């Protein structure tokens, strides 16, 4: 079930994003980003609807996932 990021309180949204970021592990790019920078990048992706938040009621957990509509070819 999709959860609009705008319906989450700021502290909850940040906690969901931080949990996702820290679960993903090591940076492999040419530059390391701070946690705050990574959170801001994910928030921007949510605002552009490049990613969305899915809630799984069975596991009671949230996942960030690519938005299927964003990747459709014209």
* Domain over 2-25+33-71 is classified CATH 2.60.120.330: no
Instruction: Please list the ranges in the chain whose pLDDT falls under 70.
Output: 24-27, 70-74
Question: What are the structural domain ranges in the chain?
Answer: 2-25+33-71
CA distance 34 to 61: 25
What local confidence, expressed as pLDDT, does residue 70 receive? 58
First vs last C-alpha separation in the chain: 26
């Amino acid at each position: 079930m999709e959860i609009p990021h705008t319906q989450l309180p700021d502290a909850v949204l940040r906690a969901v994003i931080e949990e996702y970021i820290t679960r993903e592990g090591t940076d492999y790019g040419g530059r390391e980003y701070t946690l705050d920078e990574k959170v801001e990048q994910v928030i921007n992706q949510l605002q552009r609807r490049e990613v969305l938040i899915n809630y799984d009621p069975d596991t009671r957990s949230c996942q960030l996932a690519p938005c299927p509509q964003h990747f459709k070819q014209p």
